[in-house]
Amino acid sequence: MMLLVKNADVYAPEALGRRDILAAEGRIIAIAEHIDPSYFPCPVEVLEAEGLFALPGLIDSHVHILGGGGEGGFSTRTPELVLGDCVRAGVSTVIGTLGTDGVARSMESLVAKAYALRAQGISAWIYSGSYRVPPQTVTGDLMKDIMMIEPVIGLGELAISDHRSSHPSLDELGRLASEARVGGLLSGKAGIVNFHLGDAPAGLKPLEELVASGDMPRTQFLPTHCNRNPDLFVESLRWAKEGGFADVTTSTVQRYLDEGEVAASEAIRRFYEAGSIDQLTCTSDGQGSLPIFDAAGVLVGLTMGSSSSLWKAVREAILKGGVPLAEAAKTVTSTPARALKLGQKGRLAVGADADILLVSREGLEIRGLAAMGRILMKEGKVLVRGTFEAD
């Protein structure tokens, strides 16, 4: 069956004006001022979008799809991602990662979870590895994982400048970055390294040293949590000015903000004003734990990230920060697709995957979502849930 989205104000993410969008077999096949469904000899499902903005489905490129956490012991392990959480959040593509715990959670399970999410209706890829060195892999070799395990697109999230890091040397980081890069080149994938940044004073210095010591491009690296403190955020602005990608985390708690974390919506505004919005991505750190440590490094509190924070941050940047919709939307659509070489994602264009998010003009509330041409949410109601997900 074909899908026809009618009368939407289309942001691709650039503004295209009032358009209809026609999809077949999971891809967009036409975008035009008027498309008549009666013209086609096959059934056409019409999704009325009068009064709504149509954007690309959101890409949440840092999600602990198996669950995360565990810093407070086994009882603090967070639950797995469920499909309904993505649909409600307007997310049609996720990139899964392990995180702190690469022991009790395995790469084999991460691969299986990615395939499960695909079977349930959204797009999913993953990183090999976790916080520590040597990285967790499926095949025993990072380059082999990227080349031979289809959902694997790079290495991550590898921790640096953090008390939970394995404190790899610069030579170790360089070797892993080269393996990821060559694996990506040989397989046509991003081969990117997603770095978890902590609060240690080193900040982005290890990555700056890697770039300075050889011919590794800045775009080989995607540092995340760049908004976790003011100094790191300023570093990330400089990093982006020099052509690197920077990622800010949208899930947070008030204590983090009180202690100096830069709100993701504020980060979007400042990158836009600095002329570097095209180098910024936003991710939720969904299902990841949000641990609170005291001065001695003892865990004193814990909550969990959510993909629902992704659009909330973008929405706030638009409504309160004054960032144009087309510019703010890049951070969760076209820029992550470009950084991760997901050529069919992040845009509303002929030939692209039919991942379409509908939001209201007033308040920018999520009202509909299609993934690969299949309607997952309509008029604010979730139509599809995960296999074992309760209504």
Is domain 2-55+347-382 in CATH 2.30.40.10, yes or no? Answer: yes
What pLDDT, on the 0 to 100 scale, is given for residue 1? 85
The pTM score is 0.95
Domain residue ranges in the chain: 2-55+347-382, 58-339
pLDDT tens sequence across 328-385: 999 999 999 999 999 999 999 999 999 999 999 999 999 999 999 999 999 999 999 9
The pairing of beta strand 289-293 with beta strand 280-283:
unpaired
Q: What is the pLDDT of residues 214-270, one digit of tens each?
A: 888 999 999 999 999 999 999 999 999 999 999 999 999 888 898 899 999 999 999
Quote the strand ranges of 169-217, DSSP E. Answer: 192-197
For the segment 46-86, what is each residue's pLDDT rounded down to a tens digit? 999 999 999 999 999 999 999 998 877 898 899 999 999 99
- Residue 227 in contact with residue 264, Cβ under 8 Å? yes
Contact call for residues 334 and 59 (beta carbons, < 8 A): no
Q: Tabulate helix, strand, coil % of the chain (nearest 5).
A: 30, 30, 40
**Active-site annotation, residues:** 285
H helices, E strands: number in the chain? 11, 19
For the chain, what is the mean pLDDT?
Answer: 95
Which of these CATH numbers, 3.30.360.10, 2.40.50.100, 3.20.20.140, 3.90.850.10, describes 58-339?
3.20.20.140
Cα-Cα-Cα-Cα dihedral sign, residues 25, 26, 28, 33: positive
Q: What is the pLDDT of residues 256-308, one digit of tens each?
A: 898 899 999 999 999 999 999 999 999 999 999 887 777 787 777 788 999 99
